[in-house]
């Protein structure tokens, strides 16, 4: 599997950012082999970036969607609409959406299901908060989130999991390499139980939380880390490219 380097721009950017894919290509010559680059801009930019990205070997994704296909849901957008705009991935269950917008595991599962039904790949985010880490509950919390956030209909195809410890997001704090490796191993085990070992090996498990050019190499070298989901350090293309260059280096 190729490594997925995914940029979550959150609520940052403006129309001038449609040139970011070409800017990225200037910093990083993509060959489409080892690394897949995914940019997840604010939804209104996806379509314009899709035009700008044409043949640039860069994938586009959304940061959220509604779980219904259409209807009277003022202010919402469906997975089909994201696909229409040119997205091939949708991040679901990011901790900011869980904490600030009340998304439960059940809602996350409904959204992930809608994303798959639309023919896109969900990136399902899980991760413990600081007190859960400190009280030794991280494995249990992440296990429970995975069980309930992965839709019952999932068969493991076209699925990405992102492990993002809440306390590491935007803080500059990162778990030890041992802790990251142990959690990814734990997640792989849960996926194996659910989908079988062979299928579980094909599911990419990303690490997210204060990934930077300075720490990406050692994190991405860990066996069960198949990519990264990057916030702050993905806003500048030279920084994102520096992270991508760490893959297999
Ligand atoms: P930071 O890389 O800014 O810590 O954000 C991580 C994140 O939330 C990606 O989804």
Domains of the chain: 3-244 (3.20.20.70)
Q: Output the CA 71–ligand 1 centroid distance in Å.
A: 31
Give yes or no for residue 32 having a pLDDT over 70. no
What is the position in ligand 1's atom list of the atom closest to the CA of 209? Answer: 4
* pLDDT given for residue 152 in this prediction: 97
Q: Give how far the C-alpha of residue 136 lies from the chain's centroid of Cα atoms, to the nearest Å.
A: 25
Would the pLDDT of 63 be above 90? yes
The pLDDT tens digits of the residues spanning 101-152 come to 999 999 999 999 999 999 999 999 999 999 999 999 999 999 999 999 999 9
Q: Does the beta carbon of 94 sit less than 6 angstroms from any atom of ligand 1?
A: yes
CA 211 to ligand 1: nearest atom: 2
Q: Is 209 in the pocket of ligand 1 (CB under 6 A)?
A: yes
Q: Which ranges in the chain belong to alpha helices (H)?
A: 20-27, 46-53, 79-85, 95-100, 105-117, 130-134, 138-149, 177-195, 197-202, 213-220, 237-244
pLDDT at 141: 98
Q: What is the 3-state secondary structure (H, E, C) of 3-69?
A: EEEEEECCCCCCHHHHHHHHHHHHHCCCCCCCEEEEEECCHHHHHHHHHHHCCCCEEEEECCCECCC
Query: What span, in angstroms and rounded, lies between the C-alpha atoms of 157 and 66?
Result: 21
Whole-model pTM over 0.95: yes
Alpha carbon distance, N-terminus to C-terminus of the chain: 16
pLDDT over threshold 90, residue 54: no
């Amino acid at each position: 599997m190729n490594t997925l380097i995914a940029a979550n721009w959150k609520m940052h950017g403006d129309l001038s950012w449609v040139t970011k894919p070409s800017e990225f290509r200037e910093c990083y010559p993509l060959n489409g082999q080892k690394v897949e680059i995914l940019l997840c801009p604010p939804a209104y930019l996806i379509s314009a970036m899709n035009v700008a990205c044409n043949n640039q070997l860069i994938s586009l994704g959304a940061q959220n969607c509604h779980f219904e296909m259409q209807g009277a849901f003022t202010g919402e957008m469906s997975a089909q609409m994201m696909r229409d705009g040119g997205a091939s991935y949708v991040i679901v269950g990011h901790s900011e959406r869980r904490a600030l917008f009340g998304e439960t595991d059940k809602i996350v599962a409904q959204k992930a299901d809608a994303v798959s039904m639309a023919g896109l790949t969900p990136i399902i985010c899980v991760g413990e908060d600081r007190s859960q880490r400190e009280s030794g509950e991280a494995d249990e919390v992440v296990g429970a989130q995975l069980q309930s956030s992965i839709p019952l209909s999932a068969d493991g195809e076209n699925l990405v999991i992102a492990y993002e410890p809440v306390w590491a997001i935007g803080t500059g704090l990162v778990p030890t390499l041992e802790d990251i490796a142990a959690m990814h191993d734990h997640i792989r085990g849960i996926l194996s139980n659910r989908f079988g070992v062979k299928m579980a090996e094909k599911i990419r498990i990303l690490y997210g939380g204060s990934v930077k050019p300075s720490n990406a190499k050692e994190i991405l070298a860990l066996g069960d880390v198949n990519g990264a989901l990057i916030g702050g350090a993905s806003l500048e293309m030279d920084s994102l490219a520096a992270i991508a260059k760490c893959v297999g280096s």
